[in-house]
Structure 1
């Protein structure tokens, strides 16, 4: 493979891979928080429990052909599946357009790991260390290979990202006497720093904060009551903000 290939090739290739990874990520986000292995057993209908056939597991296509419902019991297929598949494909397409070649491939890989982290945090307020560690490894490998941000900026970003949110969490606990920030958030921000470098961290935080505020505003306008003690999936916000920061 060569970066000399047109960006359209990379976008199509990474977009197709992203849809497939998105399908797997959707399954992981459902099974893993429930204590089930994403690799254990065939996929089944959430309504009737019937084992799904191969033709019912084609990303996006099966959902469209079945009109979003189980062929047997007509139970609706969770919208999260198709949304995650679309997001996985979008990550691949954007990565192929922004950085055709190996850098785009590395960015897409980071984006897919971030998608998995964001989906799990949204579903269960949990950021698995194995996924955060995978993001850190991929980010460091890209830096060592000379793709994108230089390794020095990445190492500083990793330390700064973790340190800033760890200090915020520690200060909040001392002042308020309770946990206000999950233990996985500083690790995730550190891994993001290892990918994007320290210069991008303020932008990531700003985008995440503005997105969170906008979400709360929309929910309130929709009539949902939001209390100050309600939990917000910061990891999901950071994950989306990190990929957006890279893309722009």
Structure 2
């Protein structure tokens, strides 16, 4: 029999779709350097400002049939998809982590969600999203397991140093960029949250999933292309999220 949810878990789950709505705005506006908080929401096609009743996560989209009430243009699935993804992150966190750690896990997942989608779209991992994760990891681990702080700091330093070195070697050998500095910063965040012991597992998951995605892309496009760029951030984010949730690979199961 399932245990009843704590009040904090219920609040987290109820807040998740609204957070997802904000993440959708962040994903669209941050790379374009548009105001994220101060600018009013509007239809991207006719420009009409949306009323509060039209901004209720998921419900408003369903009520309008996924179309603008003024111009009738289909609004697409982006916002409801992000809102559902944010809710899924919250459900995952509540299922795996007790008390305040569920909130910490959800915030981590939400930031990774936004960073991964921005990188997928623009090959960009914004510092404003990634660097706070580097700082927050040791703080969360200090509160949860104080003995993990030193391994977390070592993980952050080691993660950044490793991918920076890999990027430098790739550039030296191939004469072009292979990994961005944002990837190194995200790997530093992975070390900060999973400690230095978790870095190999994060890299394993990221590399395996990245190779699988590259294989699918090559199949769809008739072969591999050295000119086709693929973001590594989403795969690093997936590796960080899984290792944070379940521990290093040898601990799975």
Q: Taking structure 1 as the reference length, what is the TM-score of the superposition?
A: 0.90
**For the residues of structure 2 that align with 1:233 and 1:150, how far apart are their CA atoms?**
30
Equivalent residue, structure 2, for 1:191: 189
Instruction: Give, in angstroms, the shift of residue 7 of structure 1.
Output: 4.6
Deviation by residue 1:14-44 (Cα, 9 ceiling, x = unmatched):
2222221111111011111112011132111
RCO greater where, 1 or 2, for CA within 8 Å and sep 6 or more? 1
Runs of 4+ residues over 6 Å off in structure 1? none
Aligned residues: 244
Distance 1:146 1:176, change over 3 A: same
Instruction: Give, in angstroms, the shift of residue 9 of structure 1.
Output: 4.9
Distance 1:108 1:178, change over 3 A: same
Q: Residues 1-248 of structure 1: matches in 2 within 5 Å?
A: 6-7=4-5, 9-147=7-145, 150-223=148-221, 226-248=224-246
Instruction: Give, in angstroms, the shift of residue 234 of structure 1.
Output: 0.9
**For the residues of structure 2 that align with 1:209 and 1:12, how far apart are their CA atoms?**
36
Which 5+ residue runs of structure 1 have no aligned equivalent? none
Which 5+ residue runs of structure 2 have no aligned equivalent? 247-253
- Conserved? CA contact 2:202–2:240, under 8 Å: yes
**For the residues of structure 2 that align with 1:202 and 1:7, how far apart are their CA atoms?**
34
Instruction: Give, in angstroms, the shift of residue 224 of structure 1.
Output: 6.5
Distance 1:201 1:31, change over 3 A: same
Deviation by residue 1:176-216 (Cα, 9 ceiling, x = unmatched):
11111111110111011101111221221222222222223
**For the residues of structure 1 that align with 2:48 and 2:98, how far apart are their CA atoms?**
42
RMSD: 2.1
Distance 1:87 1:148, change over 3 A: farther
- Conserved? CA contact 1:160–1:198, under 8 Å: yes
